[in-house]
Homo-oligomer: A and B are copies of this chain.
Amino acid sequence: MALEAADLLINEIDSRGPIARPTLHDAIVARVRDMIIEGELTPGTRLHEGNLGKILGVSRTPLREALKFLASEGLVELSPGKGAVVRKFTEKDVHDSLIVLGSLEGLAGRLACANATDAEIHEVRQLHDRMMDMYGKRDRLPYFKLNQSIHSAILRLSKNEALVSVHGVLQARLKRIRYIGNEGPEKWAGAVADHEEIISALEARDAERLSKVLTAHMEQTWERVRHAI
């Protein structure tokens, strides 16, 4: 019967968690965030509500809500009565953020050593190996994405939701810059050495060593990214 098929469908959905009908303003948040990261909207650009709304094909109401959200993430700035502009990050802003990110990742590493399962660590090892593969081929974009995945994974393995969340916000602010920074001259060697030590420290569950190298790794990121600001 058709009824059974419907029931199966519902179970399928339920087993994947509550049904989250996507809403327009959430989609707009994601879309505008991507537009900023991908450089379609450059820092300093004014985000006219009517204008941008027409481009995205939405009315002003959900767009305004999305802008409010992005403002609290720190990606856009709202001046009352003036409107929204894509936030400009100074060199100091970026450096400051990287210092905090380094500290957060260091903490995440320490916690991951204590809280991750062997299987989870093995998954990171596999990401690492695939990344090294891409490094061998000098295949930049997959390398970049796997790199990001490894860092996110370590955050997840800390099993600390608050940590994941604050890291995510800060990470989002810098994504654009890291994206550009990666397009520069190839200074991969150092980063790769760091990553070798990261995965080995994680497998050894050496919390202190992992924490140190993750924090130090950020300073290198700063050097690689600096020119892009």
Q: Which residues of A contact B (CB under 8 A)?
A: 18, 20-23, 25-26, 61, 64-66, 68-69, 71-74, 79-81, 92-93, 96-97, 99-100, 103-104, 107, 111, 160-163, 165-166, 169-170
Contact = CB atoms under 8 A, between A and B. Distances in A.
B20 A166 contact: no
DSSP majority for the A interface? Answer: helix
B21 A96 contact: no
A163 to B, nearest CB: 5
Nearest to A74: B165
A20 B82 CA distance: 10
A162 B170 contact: yes
B170 A169 contact: no
B69 A71 contact: yes
B68 A25 contact: yes
Contacts of A65: 64-65, 68
B96 A100 contact: no
Count copies of this chain in the complex. Answer: 2
A25 B81 CA distance: 12
A97 B169 contact: no
Nearest to A107: B103
Given A23-B81, A69-B69, 19 more contacts: A20-B79, A20-B80, A21-B80, A22-B80, A64-B65, A65-B65, A65-B68, A68-B69, A69-B71, A72-B73, A74-B165, A96-B163, A99-B107, A99-B160, A99-B162, A99-B163, A100-B104, A100-B107, A100-B162
Nearest to A111: B99
A154 to B, nearest CB: 15
Residue in A21, A72, A92, A169 whose Cβ sees the most chain B Cβ within 10 Å: A72
Contact of A100 (B64, B73, B166): B166
10 contacts: A25-B68, A64-B65, A65-B68, A92-B161, A93-B161, A99-B107, A99-B111, A99-B160, A99-B163, A162-B170
A162 B93 contact: yes
A18 B199 CA distance: 49
Nearest to A101: B162
